[in-house]
Amino acid sequence: MKTQLLGRFTSSNEINRLRLAFLPDGSPVVAYHDGSVYAGGPLAIQRWDGQWLATPTGLLGVGKVRALAIHPTDGQPWLVHQFRQLDQFVIRVVRWDGAQWIQAGQDLETNDQINSGQTAFNHPGPHQLTFHPLTQQPVLLADDTAANDRKLRAYALNGATWTALGSPLSINHTRSGQLAFAADGTLYVAYSDGYANTADLDFIGNPRSYGTGGFSDRVTIKRWDGANWITVGVGPPGAVYLALAVDPTDHRPWIAFRNRDQSSQLTVRRWSSGTRWEVVGQAAIATAEHEMTLAFSVSGKPMLMNRGGLSGIQIWGYTPGESNGTWALDYEIEAAMQTNTVAAAFAPGEDILACAVLLNQYGNPAGGTVARRVPSVTAELSNQQTGDGITLSATLGAALAPDDGLWWTTYDPETQVWSIGLTGILLSQLRLSLHERDDPTDTPIGTPTVTVLDATPGMETLALAAADLPITVDGRLELRARQSVPGREGPFSALPLHNPLSFAAFSASRDPVESSLVQLAWTFAHEAHGFEARDDQDNPIGQFEGSDRTGPLVRNRWQPETLRLVALDADGAALCFSAPVTIAVAPPAIAAPRIVNAYRDAEGTTFLSIELPNGLTDMPDPPGGEA
């Protein structure tokens, strides 16, 4: 597998509340607001179609992005965003109809972030909008201000109205929450709750008192039974960050959360029975300091996206096994990035999470990309994608693993210039070096001189000319490319190169006796697998072994012709061309026709028997048809 970056989307200021979803055709869509995490900014929605295309935001204006989801029926994006009206913040849901954004349901008043002591729903997580898998009814999670209680509620869209599902979920304030449906239509919600004088069962069924007042951010999971919310799990406090998903194979909910009982490490549990939840994998997976994503592919493969502080963005895959199974790092994006600048989702039919990440949080402008794991394709390159503060690698703390398909190359034998295109790779932290071909000691003989033809991050294109390469004894070199980051360097992958090639001489002459026979002769001091003669339309007209320096061709003696020779490599690809040569016409000497017999018939008509000269059988047809 390789890690591929899809271009670069940009902002005019600062990207925050980044959200990612995939259209049914596999095209990613990102949503974010162009401003600070607290103040908000202009909303932006972009879709990948070989390049990032902005979706018109129309009257959406300025605000904060909360959630992005794709409707399962028409495959169109839905967006949840928040904006300010005087001293009040309002939540609005809109849907894209193919031409414009249409409001869905009424606005909901939410936390105004003005009154002192009032806590914002400031780590909401991406899954606040979802669709019933059987009826496609939208369900929304929102911290509204109904009755001025600032509690978390779930709403279902009935016609043009968002209708609350049962009583409020949280005891009072809450800072994060997510929704998830099981395949059978069972709705679950997970959130970090404030607390009062209460005692609840923890994840393993033991009573646990959480004290009084202040913030606890106690993780809580509830199930909607059609009329009421039923508590199915309560965990330790300190779970500011959490993620919820439901296994599509057995319909059991899973929860990932920052676990205070494990020194604020990431822990994953799944429901077993009643209010009991079993640990999945290791109890302490990684440092959990920011938003996370827990998701299942259609085939039922669970994966985690976690932001572990300076260690960067990590994508983990779960493998069942003895005891609790194991979470293993699949790939990593090393970067120091702010909260709200990463999102993850499965593309349709894929089993590895894709990520939307920032390439340069504080650049001018800020920019981001979508990183996804895709099968290896043609050429080789180490598993490297770095630059603008982002580095992708295979295994934390280990040598960087090689990967295929991260570049494409073409060679022009006319100019002897290689074009090298980077597919989802960033150039800035690649180390490129020149070497003798197949050098086992990996000793550089120079640094390549390249011309940047396209500087688009993730799609850079370079040109490397044979004329700019150092001269070696056998003329055979290679370009080696590898990921190089502080303290680590990956293995190289190589592109074969050569010194400038040329034909010192090339001639073509007709045989003095048989003028349809053309004798070729050339001088070529380099190594070639073979040679090919071509006409002026570049059609092959004869082939020769690599050891040959002469050879015959049978060509029409009645017509002039321009020829050139091409040196070939072992794959039959052109290495270089000779200068063209022209062979002139050389028709044979032709005797006059001879009358063999002549007579007149009884009616006075005269007949002649004529013998034509030899040497006309290869004469070309005249223009306009047969002679």
pTM of the predicted protein model = 0.63
- What span, in angstroms and rounded, lies between the C-alpha atoms of 237 and 224? 23
* Of 498, 523, 545, the domain-final residue: 498
Query: What element of type H or E holds 601?
Result: none
With contact defined as beta carbons under 8 Å apart, do 426 and 385 qualify? yes
Q: 220-242: b or e for each residue (b if 16 or more CB lie within 10 Å)?
A: bbbbbeeeebeebbbbbbbbbbb
Percent over 90 (pLDDT), the chain: 38
Domain extent for 425: 402-498
Q: Are residues 132 and 217 in the same domain?
A: yes
Neighbouring-strand partners of residue 534: 540, 564
> 553: exposed, middle or buried (C-beta count within 10 Å: 0-12, 13-18, 19+)?
middle
Give the pLDDT band (50/70/90) at residue 258: confident
Q: What is the full DSSP assignment across 472-499?
A: -SSSEEEEEEEEEETTEEPPPEEEEEE-
**What is the mean pLDDT of the segment spanning 573-591?**
86
467: helix, strand or coil: helix
Question: Is 207 among the domain residues?
Answer: yes
Give the CATH number of the domain where residue 559 resides: 2.60.40.10
The pLDDT value given to residue 146: 57
Q: Are residues 520 and 487 in the same domain?
A: no
**What is the mean pLDDT of the segment spanning 27-47?**
85
The pLDDT value given to residue 429: 61
The pLDDT value given to residue 398: 33
**What is the mean pLDDT of the segment spanning 69-74?**
93
Tokens of 226: 């059609």
Give the CATH number of the domain where residue 139 resides: 2.120.10.70
Give the pLDDT band (50/70/90) at residue 326: very high
Count of domains observed in the chain: 3
Residue appearing with tokens 């070309």: 620
The pLDDT value given to residue 162: 95
- What span, in angstroms and rounded, lies between the C-alpha atoms of 154 and 147? 15
Phi, psi angle pair for 58, to nearest 5°: 55, -120
Q: Are residues 565 and 481 in the same domain?
A: no
Range of lowest pLDDT (113-127, 163-177, 311-325, 464-478): 113-127
- What span, in angstroms and rounded, lies between the C-alpha atoms of 254 and 302? 10
Give the pLDDT band (50/70/90) at residue 207: low
Residue appearing with tokens 């016609």: 159
Question: Is 156 among the domain residues?
Answer: yes
Q: Are residues 298 and 408 in the same domain?
A: no
Range of lowest pLDDT (25-39, 62-76, 185-199, 509-523): 185-199
Question: Is 98 among the domain residues?
Answer: yes
**What is the mean pLDDT of the segment spanning 541-550?**
94
**What is the mean pLDDT of the segment spanning 258-285?**
87
Give the CATH number of the domain where residue 468 resides: 2.60.40
Residue appearing with tokens 């002026």: 536
With contact defined as beta carbons under 8 Å apart, do 256 and 292 qualify? yes
Q: Break the chain down into helix, strand, coil percent, rounded to 5.
A: 0, 50, 50
With contact defined as beta carbons under 8 Å apart, do 367 and 358 qualify? yes
Q: Are residues 240 and 331 in the same domain?
A: yes
Q: Which residues 6+ apart lie within 8 Å of 14 measured at CB? A: 34, 35, 36, 41, 361, 362, 366
Q: Are residues 248 and 266 in the same domain?
A: yes
Q: 285-310: b or e for each residue (b if 16 or more CB lie within 10 Å)?
A: bbbbbbbbbbbbbeeebbbbbbbbee
The pLDDT value given to residue 121: 57
pLDDT tens digits for range 419-454: 988 765 667 667 889 999 988 888 999 999 999 998
Q: Which residues 6+ apart lie within 8 Å of 578 measured at CB? A: 503, 506, 522, 564, 565, 566
Percent over 70 (pLDDT), the chain: 76
Give the pLDDT band (50/70/90) at residue 195: low
With contact defined as beta carbons under 8 Å apart, do 235 and 257 qualify? yes
The pLDDT value given to residue 246: 94
- What span, in angstroms and rounded, lies between the C-alpha atoms of 295 and 612? 88
Closest CA to 385 of 366, 409, 401: 401
With contact defined as beta carbons under 8 Å apart, do 109 and 88 qualify? yes
Within 10 Å of residue 613's Cβ, how many Cβ atoms?
A: 12
Question: Is 362 among the domain residues?
Answer: no
* Of 498, 513, 540, the domain-final residue: 498
> 593: exposed, middle or buried (C-beta count within 10 Å: 0-12, 13-18, 19+)?
exposed
What's the one-letter identity of residue 396? L
* Of 283, 303, 337, the domain-final residue: 337
544: helix, strand or coil: strand
User: Which stretches of 346-384 are assigned E, i.e. beta strand?
Assistant: 354-360, 367-374, 380-382
The pLDDT value given to residue 272: 87
Tokens of 128: 């606040």
- What span, in angstroms and rounded, lies between the C-alpha atoms of 150 and 109? 10
- What span, in angstroms and rounded, lies between the C-alpha atoms of 369 and 10? 9
Residue of 379 and 293 predicted with greater confidence? 293
Q: Which residues 6+ apart lie within 8 Å of 231 measured at CB? A: 200, 220, 221, 222, 275
User: At CA 353, angle to CA 332 and CA 204, rounded to 5?
Assistant: 90
Question: Is 618 among the domain residues?
Answer: no
* End-to-end alpha carbon distance in the chain: 65
Q: Are residues 271 and 287 in the same domain?
A: yes
Question: Is 466 among the domain residues?
Answer: yes
Whether 123 shows a pLDDT value over 80: the answer reads no
User: Cα separations (Å) of 570 from 279, 477, 529, 530, 575?
Assistant: 57, 16, 5, 8, 10
Question: Is 133 among the domain residues?
Answer: yes
Q: What is the DSSP letter of 144?
A: B
With contact defined as beta carbons under 8 Å apart, do 399 and 410 qualify? no
The pLDDT value given to residue 120: 52
Q: Are residues 551 and 477 in the same domain?
A: no
Tokens of 568: 């070939």
Closest CA to 522 of 530, 537, 574: 530
Q: Are residues 135 and 249 in the same domain?
A: yes
- What span, in angstroms and rounded, lies between the C-alpha atoms of 283 and 246? 19
Neighbouring-strand partners of residue 283: none
Whether 399 shows a pLDDT value over 60: the answer reads no
The chain-wide mean pLDDT, for the chain, equals 80
Count of alpha carbons within 13 angstroms of residue 124, beta-carbon side? 31
Q: Are residues 217 and 327 in the same domain?
A: yes
The pLDDT value given to residue 152: 84
**What is the mean pLDDT of the segment spanning 382-393?**
35
The pLDDT value given to residue 319: 92
Question: Is 360 among the domain residues?
Answer: no
Residue appearing with tokens 């070529």: 524
The pLDDT value given to residue 606: 81
Residue appearing with tokens 């319909």: 251
Residue appearing with tokens 């009062």: 196
User: At CA 411, angle to CA 407 and CA 414, rounded to 5?
Assistant: 160
pLDDT tens digits for range 223-255: 999 999 998 888 777 777 889 999 998 999 999
Q: Are residues 486 and 511 in the same domain?
A: no
Q: Are residues 551 and 473 in the same domain?
A: no
